[in-house]
Amino acid sequence: MVNSPHEASHRIFQDRPELVTPVFRVLGVPLAAKVTVDVLTGDVTEIRPLERRVDSVLRVEPSDGGAFLLAIEAQGRRDPDKAASWTYYLAYLRAKYGIPALLLVICQDRSTARWATGPFKTGVEGWTALSTHPLVIGPDNLPVITSPTEAARNLDLAAFSALTHAKDSDVTAILEALASALGTADSAALQYYTEMLEIGLGDTPARDMWRNLMRLDPNAPGTYFPGRGTLVEETYLKGRADGTTEGKVEGRAEGRIEGKTETKAQSILELLAGRGVPIPESIQERITSCTDLDTLNRWFSRAITATSADELFAETEAKTAE
């Protein structure tokens, strides 16, 4: 769960894996025009009671072959222990999955970024057994995106630019460009980036600036990051307290579907997918096969805050058990 700039800097790759392509372009690393990216577990713990965890791990498969793993680490300061940890991560992932592995380190601080480039050598004096060479993204090499048009072309890269340049003087122009670009984005993208940036900017003046730039609909669906006190969450909860949110969300939904249950079912699936809630095939079939509009309305309301698709049917399952 995102709770700091550290988490946001790598979590964006989990939520928006297509960001890999433009970032590799910035780094000058060759990558096919078309790639498939899958998010893998970052757990590299062995049987021994010693927990090790990579921030994020992606499997990248270019259309022309040559799949590889991308371990992503957000680094806020120099850490002498990372030389051993990063070397271990790469060796472990290579052995576990049987394909090459690369390490990408994300830094908001210029001196940390210079340090993170390494190389980090393992061995004894006069002989290097292993040498780790991370790819590094930081304020010096990530583009500053201040054009709303450019930001609109790639919201992922624009948001990532804002996170990385959070402590730079250019951040004002970056945030203004991104806010302008989000004015023409769909509601799901607007909510996601509003929260992601607010969390990722951390305890900086840029965070307050971002909150002031955003103007939110109090009747929009719930938060992507519950419990984090973001502007989206505050606005949503205030709407619920005023007794307006659920009624207006439902009213807008019914207006869109014009009484058609199949459209309502599709709205539920889109809402869950937009919030990142997994939808097993059996539950998808249950939703799409339902012909009772009242039931679908109830499921839609629950989908606004549900953390799993099963939560839509909690009341139904309880009655069945009785």
pLDDT tier for residue 83 given thresholds of 50, 70 and 90: confident
Determine the pLDDT at residue 189: 83
* Cβ atoms within 10 Å, residue 316: 13
pLDDT tier for residue 233 given thresholds of 50, 70 and 90: low
Determine the pLDDT at residue 261: 66
Determine the pLDDT at residue 255: 39
User: How many whole angstroms separate alpha carbon 60 and alpha carbon 63?
Assistant: 10
SS3 assignment, position 39: strand
Determine the pLDDT at residue 248: 42
3-class DSSP string for 191-230: HHHHHHHHHHCCCCHHHHHHHHHCCCCCCCCCCCCCCCCC
> What is the reported pTM?
0.59
Helix axes 5-15, 187-200, angle to 10 degrees: 150
Listed in order, the ranges of the chain carrying CATH 3.40.1350 are: 5-137
The mean pLDDT value for 67-90 works out to 89
Query: Mind listing the pLDDT tens digit for each residue in 283-320?
Result: 888 988 888 877 887 887 787 778 888 888 876 544 44
The mean pLDDT value for 132-160 works out to 91
The mean pLDDT value for 80-106 works out to 90
Q: pLDDT at residue 253 above 60?
A: no
Task: Identify the CATH number of the domain defined by range 5-137.
Answer: 3.40.1350
Determine the pLDDT at residue 108: 86
Phi, psi of 72 (to 5 degrees): -120, 125
| ∠ Cα 174 160 92 (to 5°) | 160
